[in-house]
Amino acid sequence: MQAQDWATFERLRRQAQFLLQARRYKETVELALKAIALFPEDPRPYAQVAYALARQKQSEAPEWALKSGVSIELAPRPPLRGPAGAKHAPARHAPLFEILMSFKGNL
């Protein structure tokens, strides 16, 4: 039964990821919560919920980001002052919570 539960979890998580990319945030949350019910120790559905709630400008988004505990990579940004010939600053990692808090009021 464990293998079947894992397959169901992966299916729900992948569907939630697809819906998140399609900007169907309410459905993303629904599927991610079903995945969390199956395997609450996996942080990926928590991050999906956090992103979906943030895009909906819901105040619960930072709480879900904390639950996920996931770090994500930010896209490189051009430096304000860098060495001659430098194209961009190196990518940095930041906790999802910090990213969501930086959007405060801009979502």
Q: Is residue 84 part of a domain?
A: no
Residue 30 burial (CB < 10 Å; 0-12/13-18/19+)? middle
CA distance 35 to 106: 29
Is residue 49 in a domain? Answer: yes
Q: How many domains does the chain have?
A: 1
Say if 38 falls within a structural domain.
yes
pLDDT in tens, the chain (107 residues): 588 999 999 999 999 999 999 999 999 999 999 999 999 999 999 999 999 999 999 989 888 988 888 544 444 444 555 555 555 555 455 566 666 666 555 55
Within a domain: 69: yes
CATH code of 39's domain: 1.25.40.10
The answer to whether 51 and 64 are in contact (CB under 8 A) is no
**80 occurs within a structural domain:** no
- In the chain, the amino acid numbered 41 is E
pTM (2 d.p.): 0.65
The three-class DSSP label of residue 73 is strand
Residue 19 is assigned to a structural domain of this protein: yes
In a domain, 53, yes or no: yes
Domain that holds residue 32: 2-75+91-102
Within a domain: residue 31? yes
Task: Supply φ then ψ for residue 26, to 5 degrees.
Answer: -60, -45
Close Cβ partners of 62 (under 8 Å, ≥ 6 residues apart): 50, 97, 100, 101
Side chain identity at 48, as an amino acid letter?
Q
